Chain A
Amino acid sequence: EAGVAQSPRYKIIEKRQSVAFWCNPISGHATLYWYQQILGQGPKLLIQFQNNGVVDDSQLPKDRFSAERLKGVDSTLKIQPAKLEDSAVYLCASSFGTPNTGELFFGEGSRLTVL
């Protein structure tokens, strides 16, 4: 079974530029999550989708971050304009069962460096 696919793996941009990350979850997984992992810290939830509806985006900096999940499958996370503090690994995860109460399957992440 294919895992969670993410791209690009690495991205370096200047501050105030924009960037987009793509995620393809495991087939059949209804719930999709975007986490931000700053170096030396645990993952922090940015947004959670159930099918193509948003379940939780309380920690998403909505003035600069946006995310969508079209047709309940793939998802895109966008940052515009980027700040230095956005440097982090952006992890996409998906799960089959009830959100947050079962196994999350993570992709390898997209590492963003903002200069």
Chain B
Amino acid sequence: GENVEQHPSTLSVQEGDSAVIKCTYSDSASNYFPWYKQELGKGPQLIIDIRSNVGEKKDQRIAVTLNKTAKHFSLHITETQPEDSAVYFCAASRGYNQGGKLIFGQGTELSVKP
């Protein structure tokens, strides 16, 4: 079945450094790739998403890249701040008309040290 692998499971960086989280997916029909941030005791919150007709998308300090040929996508956070500390999940899905559901990766716990 569909699967999304996410690495690393934990990531510790110094404030101001960059952080990169990588995901691979198995379903070649996937065309929507969101990233969610989950703070302790809260539900996940969408931070950025990308669709298969785009190779890169940026929103201030965060960016996502997509390589459809290799079936992998990555989240890049620049100039990290302590408030970026959280668990980050990647996900992938097919379009609605293709019966898709959102499949989440296992999560990356990011710790930004002041």
Contacts and interface: CB of A to CB of B under 8 A. Distances in A.
Interface of A: 4, 40-45, 48, 56, 91, 93, 98-101, 103-104, 106-109
A67 to B, nearest CB: 15
B43 A44 contact: no
A39 B44 CA distance: 14
Contacts, number: 57
B96 A99 contact: yes
A64 B32 CA distance: 32
Main secondary structure, interface of A, reads loop
Contact of A93 (B32, B43, B99, B105): B43
Contact of A106 (B4, B32, B45, B94): B45
A104 B102 contact: yes
Contacts of A48: 101
B14 to A, nearest CB: 25
A45 B102 contact: yes
Closest 5 CB pairs of A and B: A106-B43, A42-B104, A100-B93, A98-B96, A103-B46
B101 A108 contact: no
Contacts of B41: 108
Interface of B: 4, 6, 32, 34, 41-46, 49, 89, 91, 93-96, 99-102, 104-107
Contacts of A103: 34, 46, 49
B40 to A, nearest CB: 11
A42 B106 contact: yes
B34 A44 contact: no
Contact of B100 (A40, A100, A106, A109): A100
Contacts of B44: 43, 91, 104, 106
A108 B46 contact: no
A101 B43 CA distance: 19
B43 A100 contact: no
A45 B43 contact: no
Given A91-B43, A107-B43, A100 B104 contact: no
